[in-house]
Structure 1
Amino acid sequence: MTTAPVHTAATVAMPAEAARLNATYDPERLLAELDAVRNRTWEKQRVYSETGVGAATDVDWRCLALRSPGGDGTRTDPGGPGPRDFAPTEWLDRMPYVREVLDSIPAPLHAVRFMALGTDTVGIDHTDPKYGPRWGVARLHVPVTTNPRALLVLDGVTHRWQPGEFWFGDFSRVHHVENTGPEPRVHLVVDALVTPGLVRVFPEAWQEYFASGEVLYNRPSCGQRAEERARLECSFDVPATFPLWEEDGTLDVDQPWTRVSVRDDGTQLVLDQGTGQPYALVHIDANEYRLAGWSEERTLQLFLEGRQPHAVLRIRDGRSVTERSVPAVPGRTDGR
């Protein structure tokens, strides 16, 4: 195994904890499409971790999924790395204007949810780990309904975003929401991958940060043919924490490592730890892959031709990257 050094760049601080973006949307059309699905019972928001969908929130914070892993309309969690990438749900098919809004966002989209904060509800202070440009992810909000006593406190700053506005918030910072008003507060919440295109909707004051700050940019995905995927099946060792995207990753040898295989499931390559929870892989370029449902915060690249087949594992943090090369054994391990 070999490890490359960590490369760092000079940093420019994020200008603020939030930014109003360079777009506005029609609040009446948004409200009309929201009203069309209000009669369905929305379920409470759930968490997502390496073990899958977890517990529901303790407060009255309910969701309707418009994009989710596999297009499952019952999911209220934000999703993450897993066996299926994000896709539209049946609810988005009923909302042509919301689809226009989403199509106008110049970035690949992950979870999209209507999120309703009930009346007399106060959330706890918390962070959403790694939901920020430093890790290649941006959480965006389009308010649909609100009232003067509905607010967000983000990194100590109180915000009252208004219907039709378009906002970014750095939700990796401490924050909480509260609604002590008479009506639910509903936002369209969009998780997007950070790309150069997305930067263009940020105000001018943010451009220096995106040019020189600790920002991780994602590259476009690139499909592969079945015969290409078949040639890339292999096995190698990774740190047991490698797929655990919410943790600070490390490639040090002084930690548990585990054997994984890359195999073709018939439609895509997956990373299989033998736990029954494979991770779909999204091809970026030159046989480098990110975990479906996540950013390029961690990737693997396969070099199976030649006398020393190997995989290169990479973990990124802003403009820094750590990588380690590990020997790989070409071919399937299950004998098929």
Structure 2
Amino acid sequence: METQNKILEITKDRVQLPFNFDIEKLSQEAKILCHEDFVYYNVIQLRGPAHIVDSSLPFPPPAKDYADGSWTKWLNTKSLEKSVYLKSIVEKFQKNTTVTLVRLLRLAPYSEVKEHTDPTLGLTVEKSVIRITIPILNNDKMVFNLNKTPVNMKPGECWYLDLTKPHQITNNCNEERINLTIDMIPNDWLKNLIKKSQ
């Protein structure tokens, strides 16, 4: 029974983590990076595989499994390097675990991301990374449904979401939605943080 309880503790589909970030600083830096118009969905990469961020670096050798992010080295992009506050948030997590992919995800006004799953983005799978979401531009007309239930995320908050479960996003207003997402290789520090935050 004790083992089952431990498993249940780390399989909740949403957990608000004990971090709150400065929404004014987040918004200012995001606006500088998000100046281009786009249709429907837009991704601004802030950290990625080293050979993609710096094309002078060699491709990593083929891996048997790419799911957990350990197959390559990861580098900050120029966009992250010039964004002092966003970089400080990434470094906060880098002190304790390996940060892989970092992006600003933008959803256009009156748009929808259809329901889907991300099979390698949750603590419920053996080899995975997990995604932390920090809303930057978000309001009650922008709905993130996880397992058919809205996740009430406010700007500046920090959330772990089990994205191996079905999720869908709707933006029902005339503003774009912007989230900062930080993917990390889960270690004991991160798992314990999520457990304690429930």
For the residues of structure 2 that align with 1:85 and 1:204, how far apart are their CA atoms?
Answer: 30
- What's the TM-score once normalised by structure 2's chain length? 0.80
Q: How far did 1:17 drift?
A: 1.1
RMSD: 2.5
Distance 1:204 1:63 in 2: 31
TM-score w.r.t. structure 1 length? 0.49
Q: Which residue of 2 aligns with 1:24?
A: 20
Tell me the equivalent position of 2:31. 35
Q: Give unpaired runs (5+ residues) of structure 1.
A: 1-8, 43-58, 207-336
Q: Say whether 1:131 aligns with 2:127.
A: no
How far apart, CA to CA, are the structure 2 residues paired with 1:73 and 1:40? Answer: 20
Q: Flag as ranges the 4+ runs of structure 1 deviating above 3 A.
A: 71-74, 79-84
Corresponding residue for residue 97 of structure 1: 85
- Give the aligned residue type for 2:45: A
Matched AA of 1:36:
I
- More helix by proportion, 1 or 2? 2
CA distance, structure 2, for counterparts of residue 188 and residue 163 of structure 1: 10
* 1:247-302 Cα deviation digits (max 9, x unpaired): xxxxxxxxxxxxxxxxxxxxxxxxxxxxxxxxxxxxxxxxxxxxxxxxxxxxxxxx
Matched position secondary structure for 1:36: helix
How far off is 1:149 after superposition? Answer: 0.8
Offset of 1:70 from its aligned partner?
A: 2.0
Distance 1:39 1:119 in 2: 15
> 1:64, 1:73 within 8 Å by CA — same for their partners in 2?
no
- For the residue of structure 2 that corresponds to 1:66, the secondary structure is strand
- Is the CA contact 1:107–1:194 (under 8 Å) kept in the aligned structure 2? yes
Secondary structure (helix, strand or coil) at the match of 1:171 reads: coil
Query: Which residue identity is paired with 1:109?
Result: V
Distance 1:73 1:146 in 2: 29
Offset at 1:201?
A: 3.2
User: Match for residue 48 of structure 2?
Assistant: 68
Q: Per-residue CA shift, 1:166-187, capped at 9, x if unaligned?
A: 0000000011111011101100
1:226-250 CA-to-partner distances (Å, cap 9, x unmatched) read xxxxxxxxxxxxxxxxxxxxxxxxx
Q: How many residues align?
A: 178
Question: Which one has the bigger strand percentage?
Answer: 1
Give the unaligned 5+ runs of structure 2. 55-65
The answer to which structure, 1 or 2, has the higher relative contact order (CA under 8 A, 6+ apart) is 2
Check the 8 A contact 2:134/2:179 in 1, yes or no. yes
CA contact (8 A) 1:72 1:89 kept: no
